[in-house]
Amino acid sequence: MIRFGILSTAAIGVKHTLPAIQQSRYARVTAIASRDAKKAAKLAATLNAPLSFGTYEELLACEGIDAVYIPLPTSHHLEWAIKAATAGKHVLVEKPLALKAKDIQKLIKVRDKHNVVVSEAFMVTYHPQWLKVRELLDKGKIGELKHTQGAFSYYNVDKKNMRNRPELGGGALPDIGVYPTVVTRFVTGKEPVRVQASVDYDPNFETDRYASVKADFTDFELSFYISTQMALRQTMVFHGTKGFIEVNAPFNSNIYEGSVVQLHNADHSECQTFSFTHINQYTLQADAFAQAIMQTETVTGKSSAPTIFTLEDSVLNQQVIDAVYGSGKTDGKWKKVL
């Protein structure tokens, strides 16, 4: 069992990731650290975790921890991922890993120096529905992919929430803009060469609250919009010359009864449905991450295994978001993805 230490009592951990680690076949939560020792002890007790700490540093110094999960506010991700990897811990760090792609290079160096596994927690990439979409595309079930369309929105105007606080790395693009991008890259194995976007900022929070994006993948186009101030909606559609694929719960499959992938044929006369019920993508993520650690320590000696989301992938995904901000600042001029 991989022994996880957790930095903070963040909502995502309490609601999803920590119960999921407890259900993993290969991992357990062993320690919680919080800026408030009482909060750490309370959460540790709820999870039957034996250790708790009143500072993050104490957890990193603890020899009984193999891996650290970091669900801190976005602006803190890189700093603590670097500290954890330097302390010799494997690191699962929440998305988005960074606010600029170039900043990830330092973490890559630290990962390689300390020979640890470091991965950005893109839980969607562990959900079997995306393996199914990738398989359908690979088998040419919709012919040639021409257009991918996506939407991700929710309504949140809480000024205390990190998503509405620029100093904590808030904004719609870091929070949810990363998802239509990551799943499209994941299922097609292709990278966009340039993007065009309009980005709207909340005048009070000064964080981006809406973006409409077009990404040129050379063979096909991705268009999507995201918002932190619109009613809840999630969808992804992959449209080809001979059919299209719809994904009804692309990102938070747990908010619906279950995820459904529908394959429609060319003239709408047939629809094949693939249902995914009772799947916890956070548990699958914990399993894959723990397995990657076990593989690294016992077999390959490499710093990351192919089945997890690598830091090199994080750089590619963040480069798209960087270019989206760049295009937004120039009134929607095409911006190269570098």
Q: In the chain, what is the straight-line distance between the N-terminal and C-terminal CA atoms, in Å?
A: 39
Q: Which residue has the tokens 């911006």?
A: 335
Least distance to ligand NAP, CB of residue 290, Å = 17
Q: How many residues bind ligand NAP (CB under 6 A)?
A: 21
Q: Within 30-89, which residues bind ligand NAP (CB under 6 A)?
A: 34-36, 39, 71-74, 76
Least distance to ligand NAP, CB of residue 265, Å = 33
Q: Nearer to ligand NAP by C-beta: 193 or 230? A: 230
Contact segment (CB under 6 A) with ligand NAP among 5-13, 146-154, 240-248, 292-300 equals 5-13
- Whether omega for the bond prior to residue 203 falls within 30 degrees of 0, making it cis, is no
Please, are residues 67 and 2 in contact by the beta-carbon 8 Å criterion?
A: yes
Least distance to ligand NAP, CB of residue 115, Å = 26
Burial of residue 38 (CB within 10 Å: 0-12, 13-18, 19+) is exposed
Instruction: Name the phi and psi angles at 332, rounded to 5.
Output: 80, 20
Least distance to ligand NAP, CB of residue 68, Å = 13
Q: Nearer to ligand NAP by C-beta: 95 or 214? A: 95
Assign 258 to helix, strand or coil. Answer: coil
Dihedral over Cα of 154, 158, 161, 163: its sign: positive
Q: Which one of 94, 120, 313, 322 is in contact with ligand NAP (CB under 6 A)?
A: 94
125 binds ligand NAP (CB under 6 A): no
Spell out, one character per residue from 158 to 177, where the chain touches ligand NAP: x when CB under 6 A holds, - when not. Answer: ----x-----x------x--
Please, are residues 197 and 212 in contact by the beta-carbon 8 Å criterion?
A: yes
Q: Within 104-123, which residues bind ligand NAP (CB under 6 A)?
A: 121, 123
Q: Nearer to ligand NAP by C-beta: 8 or 196? A: 8
Query: Any residues with CB less than 8 A from the CB of 202 and at least 6 apart, and which?
Result: 164, 208, 209, 229
Q: Nearer to ligand NAP by C-beta: 92 or 263? A: 92
Residue type, 178: V
Rounded to whole angstroms, how far apart are CA atoms 282 and 263? Answer: 25
Rg (CA), the chain: 20
Q: Within 241-260, which residues bind ligand NAP (CB under 6 A)?
A: none
Contact segment (CB under 6 A) with ligand NAP among 6-14, 128-136, 223-231, 289-297 equals 6-14
Q: Which of 70, 76, 78, 73 shows the shortest CA–CA distance to 33? A: 70
Would residue 147 be called left, alpha or beta, if left means φ above 0 and alpha means ψ between -120 and 50 degrees?
Answer: beta
Q: Choose the catalytic residue: 38, 39, 42, 95.
A: 95
Least distance to ligand NAP, CB of residue 96, Å = 7
Tell me which H or E stretch contains 82: helix 77-86
Q: Nearer to ligand NAP by C-beta: 35 or 102? A: 35
Q: Does 333 qualify as catalytic in the annotation?
A: no
Q: Which one of 2, 4, 5, 8 is in contact with ligand NAP (CB under 6 A)?
A: 8
Binding site for ligand NAP (CB under 6 A): 8-12, 34-36, 39, 71-74, 76, 94-95, 121, 123, 162, 168, 175
Catalytic residue list = 95
